[in-house]
Amino acid sequence: MEESDYLEIDGRQLRILLTIRQAGSLSGAAKMLDMNQSTVSYWLDQMRKRIGDPLFVRSGNGVEPTMRAQELFPAVEASLRHLQEMFEPQDYDPAQDQGVLRLTGTSVERGLFYNSLLHHALEVAPRLSVEIYSIGSAFQMSERLRQNSVDIVIMPVAAESGDGILQRKLFTLTDAVYFDPDHPLEQGNLDAFCERPQARVAFGPDAGFGVDRRLAKMHRSRHVAIQVSDFDSALDMIRGTPIIATLPRQLATQGLNRVDPPWLQEGLDIAMFWHARNQTSSRHKYWRDTLAGIAARLGKI
Give the model's confidence band at 207: pLDDT under 50 very low, under 70 low, under 90 confident, else very high. very low
- CB neighbours of residue 212 within 10 Å: 15
pLDDT at 204: 54
- pLDDT beyond 90 at 108: no
Domains of the chain: 3-87 (1.10.10.10), 95-171+269-299 (3.40.190.10), 175-259 (3.40.190.10)
| CA angle, residues 31, 35, 40, in degrees to nearest 5 | 95
Torsion of CA 37, 40, 41, 42, to 10 degrees: 120
| CA angle, residues 62, 65, 70, in degrees to nearest 5 | 155
**Mean pLDDT over each residue of the chain, to the nearest integer:** 86
284-298 pLDDT tens trace: 999 999 999 988 887
Query: Please, which residues have CB within 8 angstroms of residue 259's CB and are 6 or more apart in sequence?
Result: 176, 177, 179, 185, 186, 187, 188
261-275 pLDDT tens trace: 999 988 888 899 999
Is the four-CA dihedral 81, 86, 91, 96 of positive or negative sign? Answer: positive
pLDDT at 1: 41
Contact 59, 47 (CB under 8 A): no
Contact 244, 189 (CB under 8 A): no
pLDDT at 283: 93
pLDDT at 4: 46
Contact 128, 101 (CB under 8 A): yes
